[in-house]
Amino acid sequence: MAKIMIQGTASSVGKSILVAALCRIFKQDGYSVCPYKSQNMSLNSYITLAGKEMGRAQVLQAYASKLEPEVYMNPILLKPTTDKSCQVIVKGEVYKNCSAKDYYSMKKEFAPMLKKDFEELENKFDIVVIEGAGSPAEINLRENDIVNMGLAELVDAPVILAGDIDKGGVFASLFGTVMLLEENEKKRIKGTIINKFRGDVDILKPGLSMLEERINIPCLGVVPYFNLNLEDEDGAVEFNTEVNSNIDIAVIKLPHISNFTDIDALKIEEDVSLRYITSSENFGNPDLLIIPGSKNTIGDLIYIRENGIEKKIKEYAENHGFIFGICGGYQMLGDLIEDPFKMETEFLSVKGIGLLNIDTTFLDSKVTTRVKGNVINSKIPVYGYEIHMGVSKFGEKVKPLIEIINKNGEEVLIEDGAINEEKNVMGTYIHGIFDGREFREYIINSLREKKGIKRKKSVVYEDIRNAEIDKLADIVRDSLDMNKIYEIIGIEEKV
């Protein structure tokens, strides 16, 4: 069946968003469509209904396709643990931890699996929209490539090459990328896209013509720079540090921050300012402090301890500041973290921040579940997903925060999270907890009341996201030659 692949001149040129846009456009035009990225490197992951782990970028693309996210959309996920090592997740389950060098040598063993699984997708959907990773011109990685031109050859996909003009040097990036490819790879590129353009397109047109003459590949359109309430792709996040609204919510920017999409839903609250704390100097006095997830909890805890942020957190808590920890951030808030299997570092144990009376032990198996529950004593519903290797035990000075009643579709009754006696420090293992309208409204309204601001009803995040995807599709459809794209993928455009 039909397929198209979006590759880029570099990371963060907008491949993920362009794939999401095309998925929604094809869906609007009446086709069944599926996103696909063979290998994703990301600390932003998600748990499917089947309890499998996949990259968040393909989750957004699944929503754009009006599909439930499934691991076949992202069969290989790499989660960096250090600068030179990562956890390899295959079809939603941990495969092994290894060095970057070791993974490079093992990639070719995945090719037969990818080819077989992709052929099954082709039989199931009218169109598969494939996303590359980084750049196909990373010539040191060409051998055994399974995510860019190597994958395009494996599944015989035509390619559109995208460049980011907002970075500057887009013509050089496109030209240089094409020139570094092998002749058979160049032939796969059927068009280029200029992304994130600000200004008058007429001024750009002479450059487009000159580029087309030099590489003999047509430009399929120029997509303008835009801001929509959609999840940020990895590496493209703007970690704002300024307060620009009534309610100041600050997030600790950990070196190994993971699942930063956990706080995306907070951005849609009209009177909320979301900023990141990058040092003790810009800590300020937020209305809510969030300590997010981490792929290296112990390493990141040591980092904030050494640079003075931990001291600021303790002072903030003593002054009745409101603190919320998610997963790794929740673990950091406890009294002790033990790592008997040395899953993260060489430390067998490390003292926590000491604001929640819990002790955490890292195990050698990972919990990956979708959950539903309620805030204890209030019955406010919550939902989200768990991705963690730690088990936390309650002390006498905390109470559980949430009662989980469903895990991966099965009825349970399990306590999660903790809240201190003063009720200003709390944490949970549930990622995506702010996506739920009721819980987000409960937290934000408590902040509004403290500041003398009128309570407000929150909106449904999923409705906002769906409307924003439609806006994205409109922008991209108006910017690209969709007739030419349909011609490239070998089907006629539906009117």
pLDDT of 461-494, one tens digit each? 999 999 999 999 999 999 999 999 999 999 875 5
Supply the pLDDT for residue 1. 75
Q: What is the mean pLDDT of residues 53-59?
A: 96
Give the pLDDT confidence of 238-257 residue by residue, as tens digits: 688 889 899 999 999 999 99
Is the pLDDT assigned to residue 350 strictly greater than 70? Answer: yes
Task: Look at residues 404, 322, 473 and name the one whose alpha carbon lies nearest to residue 17.
Answer: 473
Q: What is the mean pLDDT of residues 370-380?
A: 95
- Measured CA to CA, the distance from residue 185 to residue 215 in angstroms comes to 13
**Helices 15-28 and 461-479, axial angle in degrees (round to 10):** 90
Supply the pLDDT for residue 404. 98
**DSSP bridge partners of 127:** 2, 33
- Measured CA to CA, the distance from residue 288 to residue 266 in angstroms comes to 11
Annotated catalytic sites, by residue? Answer: 327, 431
Supply the pLDDT for residue 67. 98
Supply the pLDDT for residue 82. 82
Supply the pLDDT for residue 202. 95
- Measured CA to CA, the distance from residue 42 to residue 20 in angstroms comes to 17
Give the pLDDT confidence of 401-426 residue by residue, as tens digits: 999 999 999 999 999 999 999 999 99
- Measured CA to CA, the distance from residue 468 to residue 463 in angstroms comes to 9
What region does 408 belong to: left with phi over 0, alpha with psi -120 to 50, or beta?
A: left
Supply the pLDDT for residue 240. 85
Is the pLDDT assigned to residue 236 strictly greater than 70? Answer: no
Supply the pLDDT for residue 157. 98
Supply the pLDDT for residue 239. 81
- Residue 179's CB is within 10 A of a number of other CB atoms, namely 11
Give me the domains of the chain, ranges plus CATH numbers: 2-230 (3.40.50.300), 247-460 (3.40.50.880)
Task: Look at residues 169, 247, 292 and name the one whose alpha carbon lies nearest to residue 445.
Answer: 247
Give long-range contacts, CB 8 A cutoff, 24+ apart: 451-454. 451/246, 451/247, 451/287, 453/246, 453/247, 453/271
Supply the pLDDT for residue 379. 85
Supply the pLDDT for residue 234. 55
User: In which element (H, E) is residue 275 found?
Assistant: strand 272-277
Q: Which has the minimum average pLDDT: 248-252, 375-379, 430-434, 479-483?
A: 375-379
Mean pLDDT value across the chain: 95
Supply the pLDDT for residue 346. 87
Supply the pLDDT for residue 100. 87
Pairing of strands 349-351, 189-197: unpaired
pTM of the predicted structure, to 2 decimals: 0.94
Is the pLDDT assigned to residue 458 strictly greater than 80? Answer: yes
Give the pLDDT confidence of 63-88 residue by residue, as tens digits: 999 999 999 999 999 999 888 889 99
**DSSP bridge partners of 277:** 252
Question: Do residues 312 and 280 touch, judged by C-beta distance below 8 A?
Answer: yes
